[in-house]
Amino acid sequence: QVQLQESGPGLVKPSQTLSLTCTVSGGSITTNYYYWSWIRQPPGKGLEWIGYIAYSGSTYYSPSLKSRTSISRDTSKNQFTLQLSSVTPEDTAVYYCARASSPRVGVGYDYWGQGTQVTVSS
């Protein structure tokens, strides 16, 4: 059974960088062919895909967030990390990490973290 757990600060000030880590257990983040994703849900809105880091280490980001997003991994800890720079209150959301079996956006998610609330406020 694969389990994902998000961790990181729940409050970030505007213009700062949001940093969240997803710790994976029960499966390796280097196993073919999985895509380790970050997804968020702003209050009152639908899910928004942010990006993923693939089993190979390659990354792919949402075009609308690409200029502010970086996803990296630590294979020794079986973790992957989201960094979102220059945050504004519009980045307030519940952030989820998830595993997908397809590189296609919005397809094939089989395991999710419980989600973590991040609020951007001074």
Residue 68's pLDDT is 97
Residue 116's pLDDT is 98
User: Which residue in 94, 81, 119 sits closest to 41, CA to CA?
Assistant: 94
Task: Convert the pLDDT of each residue in 19-75 to its tens digit.
Answer: 999 999 999 999 999 999 999 999 999 999 999 999 999 999 999 999 999 999 999
Write down how long the chain is. Answer: 122
- The DSSP code sequence of 83-118 is EE-S--GGG-EEEEEEEESSSSTT--EEEE---EEE
Q: How far is CA 65 from CA 3, 4, 39, 109, in A?
A: 26, 23, 12, 20
Percentage of the chain beyond pLDDT 90 is: 94
Residue 114 has pLDDT above 90, yes or no: yes
Burial profile 31-49: b = 16 or more Cβ within 10 angstroms, e = fewer: eeebbbbbbbeeeeeeeeb
pLDDT band per the 50, 70, 90 thresholds, residue 105: confident
